[in-house]
Structure 1
Amino acid sequence: MHAMRIALMTAVALTACTGEPPSFDSVTGGNPRRGLEAIQRYGCGACHRIDGVPGAYGTVGPTLQRIGEGAYIAGKLPNSPENLQQWMRFPQRIVPGNAMPDLDVTEPDARDIAAYLYHQ
Structure 2
Amino acid sequence: MMSRTLLRLAARLIWILACPVLLLGGCGPSAPKPERSSTVGDAEAGAIWIGRSGCGSCHQIPGIMHANGLVGPPLIHFSRRTIIAGYLPNTRENLVRWIQHPQRLAPGNAMPEAGLTDQQARDIAAYLHGLE
The question of a shared fold, defined as TM-score above 0.5 by the shorter chain, is answered with: yes
Equivalent of 2:117 in 103, 106, 116: 106
Q: Secondary structure at the match of 2:65?
A: coil
Shift >4 Å, 4+ stretches: 19-23
> CA 1:25 to 1:95, structure 2 compared with 1: closer, same or farther past 3 Å?
same
Check 1:68–1:21 CA distance in 2 against 1; reply closer, same or farther (3 A cut).
closer
**Could you report, residue by residue, the CA deviation over 1:12-60 in whole angstroms, capped at 9, with x for unpaired residues?**
xxx99xx86554256x611110000000010100000000000000000
**Residues 22 and 31 of structure 1 are in contact (CA less than 8 Å); yes or no, is this contact kept in structure 2?**
no
Unaligned runs of 5+ in 1: 1-14
User: Is 2:127 the partner of 1:116?
Assistant: yes
CA RMSD of aligned residues (A): 2.1
Aligned residue-pair number: 103
Q: Name the residue aligned to 1:41.
A: 52
CA distance in structure 1 between the aligned counterparts of 2:103 and 2:45, rounded to whole angstroms: 25
Q: Secondary structure at the match of 1:54?
A: coil
2:113 aligned counterpart, secondary structure: coil
**CA distance in 2: counterparts of 1:23 and 1:76, whole angstroms:** 27
Aligned counterparts, 1:1-120, within 5 A: 21-25=32-36, 29-120=40-131
Identity of aligned residues (%): 47
Superposed CA offset, 1:73-119 (max 9, x none):
00111110000000011100101100000111110011100111111
The TM-score with structure 1 as length reference comes to 0.78
- Higher Cα Rg, which structure: 2
